Amino acid sequence: MPTETMIAPGFSDPVFQSQAAFRALLAALSEPGTLQQVAGEIAPPEGLATATATALLTLADYETPVWLPEALRNGPAGAWLRFHCAAALVDDPAEAAFAVIDGAADEPRLSAFNLGTDQFPDRSTTVIVQVAGLEGGPAITFSGPGIPGTRTITSQGLRARFIDELHENNAIYPLGVDVLLAHGEGLIGLPRSTQIEEVR
């Protein structure tokens, strides 16, 4: 059976659906800590949340290397991305324009990805962190650009040291990665300019 016949379809209306998804992604990163929803109009490959798959389908192409955990890279998710986005899947996190990690896994750390350069800080990796839930977990309060005062999120399924990694990431601003938390059809953006105020 040809490989293509086993790959789930992407967008049925690429222009309309990618525009809608891009608006949700832009809102997530310009209004950090707010829950944004993508339309559940695709069947994501095994291992990718609908929001993760939609984000990659919208943003990734042949010019944007993608890093996935090895099990995803060598499985249906990797085949799906190669087919729909023509994206190169890289072994080295530092080479990635976009990356997907399991929020509960110990590795890789955020600092393993491309942190940008003084000349081009915007060329850092955007890291999509797949979590067990976007509500119901420990409360983390943030401040920074795009946040009037403070904003609190309660995501579930983040490794114990992830908060420290976010602190370290913000400390090197304007360098650092941009983070998107993903679960189901939901996304929460935590760009590198976002500062942690309180964890409880």
Residue 78 in domain: yes
CA distances from 187 to 18, 25, 31, 39, 100 (A): 15, 8, 11, 11, 13
The CATH number of the domain where 111 resides is what?
A: 3.40.50.11310
89 contacts 68 by C-beta, under 8 angstroms: yes
Residue 2 in domain: no
Residue 62 in domain: yes
| Most distant CA atoms of the chain, gap in Å | 56
What is the domain range of residue 130?
Answer: 12-199
What is the residue-level pLDDT of the chain in tens, covering all 200 positions? 344 447 888 998 888 999 999 999 999 999 999 999 998 789 999 999 999 999 999 999 999 999 999 999 999 999 999 999 999 999 999 999 999 999 999 999 999 999 999 999 999 999 999 999 999 999 999 999 999 999 999 999 999 999 999 999 999 999 999 999 999 999 999 999 999 999 99
| pTM of the predicted structure, to 2 decimals | 0.95
Residue 148 in domain: yes
Residue 58 in domain: yes
Residue 5 in domain: no
Residue 3 in domain: no
Q: What are phi and psi of 20, to 5 degrees?
A: -65, -40
Residue 117 in domain: yes
